[in-house]
């Protein structure tokens, strides 16, 4: 398996930038997800690695060797698309075996290789069926089997499970991750679905408007987002982001959210991060699970009123009005059962983020 290196990749269509100065190293055996909204450049990046798309400048290295001028067929990389693209007249077995036929392998060897891939993918019992007789998830397993069977240097996947229904997608996530653990194939996976990215990646590379926003483990991008875009693209329900005013006195700071009458008090660590930076245009970001909610008055908590209750079964999301602003909090199921109930709110200091509204960048991110 291989290491991939993208160095200063750039690509534009006419006056439109698709990829700008993209630098990314994908280590041997690593599962990297390119995540972003449609049009962010993630698929173009993937196609450039595969050799299906030319880049305007920059280098693509596979195991240190430059490949920009190599045709797709010489890069020894497998590609899995959202559409299954199986040969309809061949059985699953023949479909998976197809790439091996080019190598003049003995029948016995072919059979062994197909069987071993089929075992990992748990489709051994389906090998004699034609694609039309297979369910969506099984078809995609066969497609993946065909990509893996010749042990390519790297495997590239473009939204491979995007067309499956929710439950099957949930299962396939686990299977794909499992497959990766067993095969250790260097994998680049493109998706717009942050849940897929979070659940499968070793590292996530988040893109927007052709620009790489942040690269990090799921925990890193979730807990320490580099900017507002990442903060709101990753995580569901979305992170609360509210404009705020920050006043410091002694070693405390007071944070008043726009539209809110009272304020939140924060201590030392936050003081250093925010007060030390001289920004007037500050937005506070806090995920729903970092909003503490109590049903009785508590010291240091601000009063609010429950505007909406969204039950999700395992937990509830509350829309809480703090004056004119609304923030969302995650609570246990049935913590609050009546609309308009008064509640008291505090923010978990260690999980509260501050952003410069102009640049969108997080303030004083700990390094």
Partner 1 sequence: MAKLTLKNLSKTYGDVAAVRNLSLDIRDQEFFVLLGPTGAGKTTTLRCIAGLEKPETGEVWIGEDLVNEWSAANRDVALVFQQYSLYPNYTVRKNLEFPLKSKLRQLPAKEIGSRVHKVAETLRISHLLDRRTDRLSGGEMQRVAIGRAIVREPRLFLMDEPLSNVDAKLRELLRSELRGLQLKLGATLIFVTHDQVEAMTMGDRIGVLCDGELIQIGTPYEVYNSPHNTFVASFVGTPAINLFDGTIDGDRIVVVPEKFEIILQPALRVRLNQVAGMRNTVRIGVRPEHVKLVTKSNIAGTLYGAEDHGVEMILTIRVGEHLIRGTSAATTRVPVNAPVQIAFMQDKLHFFDPETGKNLAQA
With H, G, I as helix, E, B as strand and everything else as coil, classify residue 317. strand
Find the Cα–Cα–Cα–Cα dihedral 212, 217, 223, 224, rounded to 10°.
-40
Of 59, 39, 51, the residue nearest 78 (C-alpha): 51
Pick between residue 47 and residue 328 the one whose CB is nearest to partner 1: 328
77-80 vs 154-158, strand pairing mode: parallel
| 221/240 Cα distance (integer angstroms) | 16
Exactly one of 334, 342, 358, 359 binds partner 1 (CB under 8 A); that residue is 334
Exactly one of 145, 235, 285, 304 binds partner 1 (CB under 8 A); that residue is 235
7 lies in the site for partner 1, by CB under 8 A: no
Exactly one of 24, 200, 207, 260 binds partner 1 (CB under 8 A); that residue is 200
Per-residue binding letters, 271-290, with partner 1 (x by CB under 8 A): ----------------x-x-
304 lies in the site for partner 1, by CB under 8 A: no
| 237/15 Cα distance (integer angstroms) | 36
Helix extents (H) in the chain: 42-50, 92-101, 107-121, 136-148, 166-183, 194-200, 218-223, 228-233, 268-274
259 lies in the site for partner 1, by CB under 8 A: no
Q: Least distance in Å: CB of 279 to partner 1?
A: 25
Given a contact cutoff of 8 angstroms between Cβ atoms, the answer to whether 221 and 206 are in contact is: yes
Of the listed pieces 23-31, 172-180, 247-255, 352-360, which binds partner 1 according to CB under 8 A?
Answer: 172-180
Exactly one of 166, 250, 278, 366 binds partner 1 (CB under 8 A); that residue is 166
Of 150, 228, 154, the residue nearest 187 (C-alpha): 154
Chain positions 23 to 62 lying near partner 1, rule: CB under 8 A, are 37
Q: Least distance in Å: CB of 15 to partner 1?
A: 21
State phi, psi for 157 to the nearest 5 degrees: -130, 130
Exactly one of 69, 106, 132, 219 binds partner 1 (CB under 8 A); that residue is 219
Locus of tokens 């009546």: 338
72 lies in the site for partner 1, by CB under 8 A: no
Of 195, 215, 196, the residue nearest 206 (C-alpha): 215
Q: Least distance in Å: CB of 134 to partner 1?
A: 19
223 lies in the site for partner 1, by CB under 8 A: yes
| 11/53 Cα distance (integer angstroms) | 10
Per-residue binding letters, 80-119, with partner 1 (x by CB under 8 A): ----------------------------------------
186-191 vs 154-158, strand pairing mode: parallel
Pick between residue 27 and residue 272 the one whose CB is nearest to partner 1: 27
Interface residues with partner 1 (CB under 8 A) are 37, 165-167, 170, 173-174, 177-178, 181, 193-195, 198-200, 217-219, 222-223, 232-238, 287, 289, 307-308, 310-314, 317, 319, 328, 330, 333-334, 339
């Amino acid at each position: 398996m291989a290491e991939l290196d993208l160095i200063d990749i750039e690509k534009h269509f006419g006056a439109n930038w698709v990829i700008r100065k993209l630098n990314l190293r994908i280590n041997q055996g690593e599962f990297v997800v390119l995540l972003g909204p449609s049009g962010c450049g993630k698929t173009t990046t993937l196609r450039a690695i595969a050799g299906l798309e030319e880049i305007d400048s920059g280098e693509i290295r596979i195991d240190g060797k430059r490949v920009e001028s190599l045709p797709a067929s010489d890069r020894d990389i497998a590609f899995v698309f959202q559409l299954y693209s199986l040969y309809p007249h061949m059985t699953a077995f023949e479909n998976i075996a197809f790439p091996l036929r080019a190598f003049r392998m003995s029948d016995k060897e072919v059979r062994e290789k197909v069987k071993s891939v089929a075992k990992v993918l748990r489709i051994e019992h389906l090998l004699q069926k034609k694609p039309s007789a297979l369910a969506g998830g099984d078809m995609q397993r066969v497609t993946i089997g065909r990509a893996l069977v010749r042990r390519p240097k790297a495997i590239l996947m473009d939204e491979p499970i995007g067309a499956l229904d929710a439950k099957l997608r949930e299962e396939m996530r686990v299977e794909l991750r499992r497959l990766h653990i067993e095969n250790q194939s260097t994998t680049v996976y493109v998706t717009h679905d942050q849940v897929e990215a979070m659940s499968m990646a070793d590292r996530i590379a988040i893109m927007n408007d052709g620009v790489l926003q942040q690269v990090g483990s799921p925990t890193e991008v979730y807990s320490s987002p580099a900017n507002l875009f990442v903060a709101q693209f990753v995580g569901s329900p979305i992170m609360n982001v509210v404009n705020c005013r920050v006043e410091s006195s002694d070693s405390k700071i007071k944070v008043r959210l726009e539209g809110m009458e009272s304020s939140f008090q924060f201590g030392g660590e936050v003081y250093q991060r925010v007060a030390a930076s001289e920004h007037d245009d500050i937005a506070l970001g806090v995920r729903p699970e970092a909003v503490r909610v109590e049903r009785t008055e508590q010291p240091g908590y601000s009063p609010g009123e429950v505007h909406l209750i969204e039950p999700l079964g395992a937990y509830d999301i509350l829309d809480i009005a703090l004056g004119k602003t609304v923030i969302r909090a995650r609570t246990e199921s049935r913590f609050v059962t009546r609309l308009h109930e008064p509640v008291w709110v505090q923010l978990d200091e260690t999980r509260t983020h501050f952003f410069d509204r102009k640049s969108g960048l997080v303030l004083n991110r700990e390094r």
